[in-house]
Structure 1
C-alpha cells in the first residue's frame, strides 16, 4: 500500500487546521481588546456628563465591522473542510477497496473450510466459540479430537503459569521417545525448573533426591548443565542472590511455556502458528499488489482466471517464507515445477529453460557456462530439490 499520498493529505489537513486555529485565536483576541477598550471608555464617560456612551458603542460597532471576523473565519474554515474532504476520500479509496476483484472464482470445500476455522478457534483457546461453530456447522464428529488435544495443551500451559509442572512433566514423560527423536531437550528443561523450584522453597535433601532420580538419563549429553545445577545445592533458599541467579529468572518459565506449545503442536503434526492466521496475514499483506494488478488488467477477467502464475512478484517478507526460493541468474525468473533449478557439471545452477536456450534445445550440444569457462552438456545437468 502506498502511504505517501495519505501522509501528504494528512499533513495538509494539519497545516490547514493549525492556520485556522491561529486565525480564530487572533480574531478573538482582537475583538476582546476592542470590547475591553470600549468598556473602559464607557466607565470613564459615566463620570463626564457631556460624554455620549452611545457614540462610544457606535465606534465599537464600526471597528468590529472592519475586523469582519465572520469573513476571516469562514474562509479558513472552508479551506480546512476541503482538505478534510480530500483526506477522507483518499482514506476510503486506500482502505476500503473492492477486494472482490483480487480473487478468483474457486469452489471451496465447505467441510475443509469448517475444519480450518474450528481448528483455529481451538488453537487460540476459544473453546466455547469453537463448540458453537461446529454445532452450527454440523462438524462434531470430525473435529472433536482436535479440541481434546488443544484443551490438554492449554491446561498444561495454565498450570505452568502458577509454577505447577506436574501436567507438563506427565506429558513429557508420556512422549519421551517422540521428543528424543525430534532432538528436543524440553523434558530436561522441565526437570531443571522443578529442581530449582524445590531449592527455592528451601528443601536441599528433596532437591538432591529429585536430581538423582530425574537427571540421570540426561547425564551423558548434558553433564556440564547438570553439574551447574548440583552446585545450586549450596545456595538453597537464596539462589536469586547467588552466582546462578540467572537460572531462576522468570523469563525461563515464559520461554519454556512457548517451547512446550511448539513441541506439542509438532508432535500433533500441526504448525505452531495457526494456518488460518498466517493465510489471512499473508493475504492482507499481498492484497495491495493484487488490487493494482487487477486495475491494470481491467477487462481481462478471463486471462486472470486462467493464469497459473502471477505475472508480478508479491513481496510478503521473510516471515512468510517457509521454503527456499531460487531465482535463475540468467532469466531472472523464479524456479517452479515447470522450470526447476538444474545444477550443471561445473557446479553452477540455472533454471531448466535457461539451459535449454543456451544449448539451443540440443541435449548433446555442449554449451559454455555463463559464469565460468567450463563446457557443459544438458545430459550432465541434475535437477535440484529444495
Structure 2
C-alpha cells in the first residue's frame, strides 16, 4: 500500500469508458511538425510520455489553414494528415492510455496562418495591441465553414484510431474569443448576451457529436478544455460564473471529461502563476471543486504547477468522484514521472534539466526551442518569452 494509491485508481469517463488511472499527460504546444505533418520525433516523444498515464493529449492541432497558431503546429485539417496521425495514435495507445487529439483554432491569433499567407479572421474586427497584421470579421459563411472543419477533423481523428478528441476552448483561441466580451462585439446571433456568446462553442461541440454519431462510435471520447475565467488585471472578458453557465449547457449537450486550464485565472499577471489550488474572485471554493461539483459524474482534470507526487495527490485528494490530474512541464523533464510514483520511487523524480537532458528524454527539437533557454544551462522549462502560447500545463 502507498499513500499515492488513489492516483492509480481507475476512473470512468462520461461515456462509460474506463481509464487506467487518474493521470493525464497535459496537452502542450509541440511545434515540431513538418508543415503540419507528424514527425518521428513527435511519435517518440508522445510514446514514452503516454506510457503510464490514463489519458494522453496531443498538443493543439489546427482544424483549418486559417487557424494556425504558429508554424510547426500539428495539423488535423487535411485528409493527407491521417497517415501520420495514425502512427501518433498507435504510439500513444501502446501503454494502455486513451489517446486524445486536441483541436484548436487560433482565430485572430493565427500568427502561423498569417506567415503562411493564409486568411486570418476573428469574431470581431477589434484593434488588439498585440496583433500586428490585418484580419477579417467572420461572416456567417465563415462560421459555417469552421463548424464543418471541426466536424471533418473529428472524422480524421476517428479514422486515425484516436480514442477521442479534446476541444481547446481556452487560452484565447477562437471559441474563447466568441465567449469573451473583450473579443466579441457582434450584434447578430453569435454575440451580445451571455447566451449568444456561448452559441459558437456549443455549435462546435454539436458538430463534433454529429461526426461521432455518423461514425457510430459511441465509445469515442469528447473532452472539453476551458479557461474558467478570462482576467487581465481590470480587464475581464468573462468571469467564472459566466463559464459555469456555459459549462452547464455543454454538459447538457454531452462531454466525457472537463479539463481546466488556469493560465488566464485571477493572479496570472501577478508574480505567481495560479495553480491547482487557485480560488476565483468572489468564491471560497477552488476552481477544481466548483467544476467537479457542477460536472457530477463527468471527470474534471486539474493541474498547473504539478511537479511532485504530493502535489498530484493534493490535486485530487479532497475531491470526491471521478477527479483527475494533468501533468505538463514535469513530464517534459521526466517522462517516467508517473511510473516512479507507482513504483514508490518518487525521490528519483527529475526536477531540473539541461538542453542535453531534454534531448536525451526525446523532447522534439521544436519543443526544446519553444520552452527552454538555449544557453545550455537550463534549470527549468518555461514559456518562450513574449509569445502567449496556449496549452502549456
**Interval of TM-score (by shorter of Structure 1 and Structure 2):** under 0.3
- Higher fraction of helix: 1
Q: Larger % of strand: which?
A: 2
TM-score normalised per structure 2: 0.19
In the superposition, the TM-score normalised over structure 1's length comes to 0.19
Q: Which has the larger radius of gyration?
A: 1
